[in-house]
């Protein structure tokens, strides 16, 4: 198995685990939702479903490209939550401020990683 394939499995596993976590700890994800977004609980659950489905579809050859583009869209869609966290560190005292800001370029890495399979 080559490195690209191994990393495909890693990304898929990461996405499925993150998606499942949306159902196990929805309040945690609701806290990072910018207040201007409506229906935070529903958005958290919807993003959890999307992460699980896209993670699984990333491993299915017939849907890999579609899943990769879906992940790119998802990473762009959740970017406002990362910006919100960085702009409001007082609401996330348990997370070091530097880590809140590091999440922003991490999104670029995740987008590039997903694009590798698109």
Q: How many CA atoms lie within 13 A of 65 on its CB side?
A: 2
Average pLDDT per 10 consecutive residues for the chain, totaling 118 residues? 96 98 95 93 97 98 98 96 94 92 95 97
The pLDDT assigned to 108 comes to 95
The pLDDT assigned to 1 comes to 87
Q: Which residue has the tokens 């990393």?
A: 7
| DSSP per-residue string spanning the chain | --HHHHHHHHHHHHHHHHHHHHHH-HHHHHHTS-TTSS-HHHHHHHHHHHHHHHHHHTTSTTTHHHHHHHHHHHHHHTHHHHHHHHH-GGG-TTS-HHHHHHHHHHHHHHHHHHHTT-
The pLDDT assigned to 112 comes to 97
Q: Look up the pTM and report it.
A: 0.93
């Amino acid at each position: 198995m080559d490195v690209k394939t191994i990393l495909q499995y890693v990304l898929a596993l990461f996405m499925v685990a993150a998606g499942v976590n949306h159902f196990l700890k929805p309040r945690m994800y609701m806290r990072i939702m910018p207040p201007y977004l409506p229906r935070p609980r529903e958005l958290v659950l919807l993003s959890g479903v999307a992460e699980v489905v896209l993670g699984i579809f990333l491993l299915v050859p017939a849907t890999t490209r579609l899943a990769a583009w879906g992940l790119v869209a998802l990473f762009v869609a959740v970017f406002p939550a990362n910006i919100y966290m960085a702009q409001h560190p007082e609401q996330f005292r348990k997370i070091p401020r530097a880590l809140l800001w590091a999440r922003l370029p991490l999104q670029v890495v995740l987008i590039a990683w997903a694009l590798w399979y698109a």
